[in-house]
Amino acid sequence: MIRFQNVYKRYPQGLEALADINFGIDQGTLTLLKGHSGAGKSTLLKLIAAVEKPTAGTVLVNGENVGTLKRAALPWLRRNIGMVFQDQKLLFDRNAFANVMLPLAIAGFPPGEAERRVQAALDKVGLLDKARTMPVALSGGEQQRLAIARAVVGRPSLLLADEPTAHLDEDNARDIAKLFYEFQQVGVTVVIATHNEELYAPYAPGRIALAHGRMEVAA
Amino acid sequence: MNAWIVQQRAAFALALRRLASTPTTTLLAALSIGIALSLPAGGQLLLASLQQLGQGSSATPQISVFMALDADDKASSKVGAQLRANAGIGDIQFIDRNTTQKRLREAGLAQVIDSLPKNPFPDTFVVTPKDTAPEALEALRTELAKLSRVEHVQLDSAWAKRLSVLLNLGRTVVWLLAALFGVGLVSLVFNTIRLQVLTKREEIEVSRLLGATDTYIGRPFYYFGALQGLLGGLVACAIVYAGFAVLQERVAELAELYRMGFSLRPPSVLGTLGLLALAATLGWLGAALSVRQHLRAS
């Protein structure tokens, strides 16, 4: 599903974010990216989604070298990847339903089917009763669940999450972790960057440990 | 429903919502565009109306050859034969003195004509020269003036030619104005869209991460530009129609006083639709240029 081969990432300012990264992630697995702040977890996720390009090496997603994809091909890659961001990146000028609808509108889903999918996604994360609520009126945990609903509504085969429980209390964090596990159980490949690997311990995830942009342990 | 149609409809609805969400800005932009477009549109309409003046008389110069008042039919026939034999003349029309008198009587001057002791009009030949160069016309006029019993030779239609030249000049000015204001419209929409792209930066970034193409992101802006141009076009049409309604009667009164066959022409349906289509297209163009530049840069 995902394969990194001798991947390096150096930003224009000279900062080396990743160096000599090699690993593989199989389809339908749950994998944690762990490491301290600045270890390179977010950069690694960005390379998978082709938000950033590697300075050297190869990043393969479903056999395709995403580092060499042309600009016009990126949307088609990203429609098959669900992304949950640390800051959620919700649109605060529209309600929860419209936020989750966005990926389906982009993909051109017929309105009827799109509405059914949005309702199903909101139901899955427990927000169906808040479909018409604006994001600003949701709690931190609800906002994170809304972001997850938006990430999975297009039924992607790959789900990337960057510190999805960073600002949540323990109960909310546990709920979110369980949600990711449920998606993995239905065949979605889930990659989560996190500080809190204990949260996912019950689900026996694979682990990739980073320190200062280099791999410590490959699981 | 086809995905393409779904996305077009959604983009159009979003553009409408964006226009409606800033009514003052939308109105001011429409007024700016409308006033700018109304100048060349009104000018074009005025020129089309003025063209009527020239259509009554041929723009091809003609020469009127007036016989002496006491010249008899025989003298007129002789001059007619000489004119027909002249290689520099293309066409000849003979108007005898009685026909001229009859025409003026029909034109409402019967009382004046009846008060005169005798027919004051001479026999007249209206000659169309083959060569319309100014030197050739002048040479022909001099030559015809020397014919026996010819009293006066007058070069007609010079005014029509002058009018035609002036109309051509006017058309050029109108086209230049249209081009200038067209560029202005494109610039105005370009800048409006630039500001919108900046304010929607976050939404654009998120949409990209969710798999939106540049076409998808740009589509609402294209519709916005086209709608803004269209609104400006509607304002321009309203200004032109209002101008026509206000001026029509006054111009008709003036034309009547001078016995001129002139009236303001109302804007045609086709012209109106053309103006609206042009305004919408220019708005679309401004938006497309702006979106292309700013999405590539972001």
Q: Please count the residues of chain A.
A: 219
Local confidence band at B252 (pLDDT 50, 70, 90 cut-offs) = confident
With tokens 């002139």, the residue in question is: B262
The CA distance from B190 to the nearest CA of chain A, in Å, is 24
Residue bearing the bigger pLDDT, B274 or B162: B274
B28-51 pLDDT, tens per residue?
Answer: 999 999 999 999 999 888 888 877
Chain A residues with CB under 8 Å of B206 CB are 89, 91, 102
Residue A211's DSSP bridge partners are A214
Are B95 and B127 in contact by the 8 Å Cβ rule? The answer is no
Write down the pLDDT at residue B284: 95
Question: Does pLDDT of B56 surpass 60?
Answer: no
Distance CA A137, CA A139 (A): 7
Tokens of A95: 């309600």
Give mean pLDDT in consecutive 10-residue pieces for chain A, a chain of 219 residues: 93 88 94 90 94 94 92 92 91 94 92 93 92 94 92 92 86 88 93 90 88 76
Listed in sequence order, the residues at least 6 apart from B18 whose beta carbon sits closer than 8 Å to its beta carbon are B196, B220, B224
Query: B204 to chain A: nearest residue by CA?
Result: A91
Q: Are A78 and B216 an interchain contact pair (Cβ–Cβ within 8 Å)?
A: no
- If residue A181 lies in a helix (H) or strand (E), which one and from where to where? helix A170-185
Residue A215 three-state SS: strand
Distance CA B43, CA B55 (A): 19
B83-132 pLDDT, tens per residue?
Answer: 999 999 989 999 998 898 888 888 777 888 888 888 888 999 999 888 87
With tokens 């791999």, the residue in question is: A215
Is B295 near chain A, with CB under 8 Å? no
Listed in sequence order, the residues at least 6 apart from A183 whose beta carbon sits closer than 8 Å to its beta carbon are A152, A159, A190
B155-190 pLDDT, tens per residue?
Answer: 876 666 777 788 889 889 989 988 999 999 899 999
Interface of A with B in 93-152 (CB under 8 A): 93, 102-103, 105-111, 150
Write down the pLDDT at residue B53: 66
Residue A10's DSSP bridge partners are A16
Q: Please count the residues of chain B.
A: 298
Residue A8 three-state SS: strand
Question: Does pLDDT of B237 surpass 90?
Answer: yes
Question: What's the average model confidence in pLDDT over B214-240?
Answer: 94
Most confidently modeled range among A131-135, B252-256, B268-272: A131-135
- CA A204, chain centre distance (Å): 18
Distance CA A47, CA A156 (A): 17
Identity of the amino acid at B25 = T
Are B123 and B74 in contact by the 8 Å Cβ rule? The answer is no
Is B39 buried (19+), middle (13-18) or exposed (0-12) by CB count in 10 A? middle
Q: Closest to B203 (Cβ–Cβ): which among A76, A91, A154?
A: A91
Q: Are A91 and B216 an interchain contact pair (Cβ–Cβ within 8 Å)?
A: no
Distance CA B45, CA A104 (A): 49
Tokens of B24: 């003052």
B182-206 pLDDT, tens per residue?
Answer: 999 899 999 989 998 888 888 999 9
Chain B residues with CB under 8 Å of A94 CB are none
